[in-house]
A and B are shown apart, each in its own frame.
Chain A
Amino acid sequence: MKAPQPIDRFEIRLSGLGGQGLITLGRLLGSALALGHGYYVTQTQSYGPEARGGSSRADVVVSSRPISYPKTESLDLLVALSPEACNSYYRLLKKTGILLVDTTLVKHAPTNVYLGLPFTQMAREQIGNPMTINTMVMGAVTHLLPFADPKVMRKSLEANLPAKIREVNAKAFALGLKQAQRNFGDAGGIWAAAEENGQHSEDDIIV
């Protein structure tokens, strides 16, 4: 295991609808960062009493130091897989944070500075299984996290899934990663741009 790149409280929120597998995504992502990369990670969840539908979210905090508060307060990365989630949590995003949406479902993002891929459509048409949306998002998120090693993430993902769904999810992960690389460009560049964009809007008040 390489020594992890130092980071101080990187906050991720994975949000959308119940049934999209967001809490599983949080678990897979957290497990890969904690056990695969050696970071301190807390993953918390919030969901309604419904089995499907309703809102659902998982928060992941990553740090090189022990984490006290396990939930998120200001987000570095917001993943929104439903318009409601996007609208409710956008205001919690740091000025220098990044918004990633599912463009199949989120037609009108509350900002024009965001990254998007049609995850639902890709899962349905290219993988043939809409339930793989979460692992596909994990692929895209892996590309966006400058401290995540795609190989380690993939290995951890495969280790955490039961055999009968391993292959299809590995395929979805690879597709998410590839499309993110192709469409978003280099991760370093994305964060540099977000940083610059954040500085320009220093005077704006985000309530």
Chain B
Amino acid sequence: MAVQRKKRKRRELFALGNEAVAEGALLAGCSFYAGYPITPSTEIMEVMANRLPLIEDGVFIQMEDEIASMGATIGASLAGRKAMTATSGPGFALMQEHIGYACMVEAPLVVVNVMRGGPSTGLPTSPAQADVQMARWGTHGDHPIIVLSASNVQECLEMTVTAFNFAEKYRTPVILLLDEVTAHTREKISVPDPDEVEILSRVEPTVPPEWFKPYADTARGVPAMAPIGSGYRTHVTGLTHDVMGYPTQRPDEVKDAMLRLFRKIDQYYGDIQMSDEYLLDDAEVAVVAYGSVARSAHLAVEQARERGAKAGLLTLKTLFPFPRPAVEKLTHRCHTVVVPEMNMGQMSREVKRVNNGRTKVRTINRVDGQIITPSEILKAIL
């Protein structure tokens, strides 16, 4: 019998960056959200509160604080859910210990941090990009982590899907760093049909339960994951553990466990490090930017080209692991690399490290709660 497939149209919305994040999460199969509202991330929570109860087995919980939010998110992840939480600087600070726990027990989940002015309560309604190094190193202990960013509303949706895919593929927490401007910009987006999007899910064990080793090494370095309650025995602890998940202090087992944690991310840098190039082929001055500032830089590069300056733009979509190859290429070819950011130089530090003194690195830093304008960047290019 011929089945007539109804052609579904992409949904067009005029949406906030935050709303696009929620759309992306639902598209990626997120069925659990635990959070505590905080400006400028609250709209993510609002959409999830409205939508999750409408989907099968969807769970939305408002927790008592961000510590509990992160704990609940890890729990849901271990029970087999695709889980997310969202917050801003002050809440992200509270989540740090549990993010380390998620790294250690290899819980796939997504944490969205919409950056606002800090430190402390800071500027609740103003943008900043000052949590970049915190996203990388906020939790203690040596650990690999994936940090992504987005610069426009459509990208908010796409990068949220990517964040879930990376989390599931590599069994790791993934942090999506937005800033207030991106989160609170409304634009037209089209929400793709779920069939059009590549959605990845964690690998579940194929062996019988009695053979299952919850933290066994594999070729990819990513162990198969059995949801708690599925009949597979799983032990979860923040202590360094052996392949069975039980605490160990044996140096050989500790070394294997730690090196596997790193290797599962390290060997896929090519897959994880994402960036966009714009007019870089013949560029003599390159701007390296991320988040909303990349949009200012885009206009500045256009204006510089109109005036005859050979400028180009590298937009970082993955912040960590730092996209070294893409940046290194520029430091060989360009006489100046400009790094504008809404902090005192957190990403330019990485660019300078990669540059290794090769070419000139100019920084534009702004910490007054205002976005860096195209004219400020243009001035640095010319």
Chain A interface residues (CB < 8 Å from chain B): 26-27, 30-31, 34-35, 40-49, 67-71, 73
- Taking the closest CB of chain B, its distance from the CB of A71, in whole angstroms, is 6
| A-contact 0/1 string along B262-279, CB 8 Å cutoff | 000000000000000000
- With a cutoff of 8 Å between Cβ atoms, the chain A residues found around residue B126 in the complex are 46
- With a cutoff of 8 Å between Cβ atoms, the chain A residues found around residue B374 in the complex are 68-69, 73
Considering the complex, which residues of chain B in the window 312-334 have a beta carbon less than 8 Å from any beta carbon of chain A?
Answer: none
* Also in contact, A35 and B12, with CB within 8 A (given A30-B186, A41-B187, A70-B295): yes
- Taking the closest CB of chain B, its distance from the CB of A133, in whole angstroms, is 21
- With a cutoff of 8 Å between Cβ atoms, the chain B residues found around residue A73 in the complex are 373-375
CB atoms of A69 and B295 under 8 A apart: yes
CB atoms of A41 and B295 under 8 A apart: no
CB-nearest residue of chain B to A44: B185
CB-nearest residue of chain A to B13: A35
CB atoms of A34 and B292 under 8 A apart: no
Complex Cα distance, B184 from A68, in Å, reads: 15
Complex Cα distance, B299 from A53, in Å, reads: 34
CB atoms of B124 and A49 under 8 A apart: yes
* Also in contact, A27 and B186, with CB within 8 A (given A71-B371, A73-B374): yes
CB atoms of B188 and A35 under 8 A apart: yes
- Most chain A CB within 10 A, of B39, B184, B375, is at B184
| A-contact 0/1 string along B108-131, CB 8 Å cutoff | 000000000000000011100000
- Taking the closest CB of chain B, its distance from the CB of A74, in whole angstroms, is 10
| Interface SS of A by simple majority | mixed
CB atoms of B181 and A71 under 8 A apart: yes
**Which residue in A48, A67, A68, A70 is a CB contact (below 8 Å) of B125?**
A48
CB atoms of A68 and B185 under 8 A apart: no
CB atoms of B295 and A68 under 8 A apart: yes
| A-contact 0/1 string along B138-158, CB 8 Å cutoff | 000000000000001000000
CB atoms of A42 and B186 under 8 A apart: yes
Say whether B296 faces chain A, with CB atoms less than 8 Å apart: yes
CB-nearest residue of chain B to A35: B14
CB-nearest residue of chain B to A69: B299
A-B contact pairs, 28 of them (CB 8 A): A27-B14, A30-B14, A30-B186, A31-B14, A34-B14, A35-B14, A40-B187, A40-B188, A41-B188, A42-B186, A43-B187, A44-B181, A44-B184, A44-B185, A45-B184, A46-B125, A46-B126, A49-B125, A68-B296, A68-B298, A70-B152, A70-B181, A70-B187, A70-B295, A71-B371, A73-B373, A73-B374, A73-B375
- Taking the closest CB of chain B, its distance from the CB of A10, in whole angstroms, is 15
CB atoms of A34 and B187 under 8 A apart: yes
- Taking the closest CB of chain B, its distance from the CB of A49, in whole angstroms, is 5
- With a cutoff of 8 Å between Cβ atoms, the chain A residues found around residue B186 in the complex are 26-27, 30-31, 41-44
- Most chain A CB within 10 A, of B14, B185, B374, is at B14
- With a cutoff of 8 Å between Cβ atoms, the chain B residues found around residue A43 in the complex are 185-187
- With a cutoff of 8 Å between Cβ atoms, the chain A residues found around residue B181 in the complex are 44, 70-71
- Taking the closest CB of chain A, its distance from the CB of B52, in whole angstroms, is 22
**Which residue in B39, B184, B298 is a CB contact (below 8 Å) of A69?**
B298
Complex Cα distance, B185 from A27, in Å, reads: 10
For the complex of A and B, 6 pairs with smallest distance between CB atoms: A68-B298, A31-B14, A43-B186, A68-B299, A34-B188, A69-B299
Complex Cα distance, B295 from A71, in Å, reads: 10
- With a cutoff of 8 Å between Cβ atoms, the chain B residues found around residue A70 in the complex are 152, 181, 185, 187, 292, 295
Complex Cα distance, B190 from A40, in Å, reads: 13
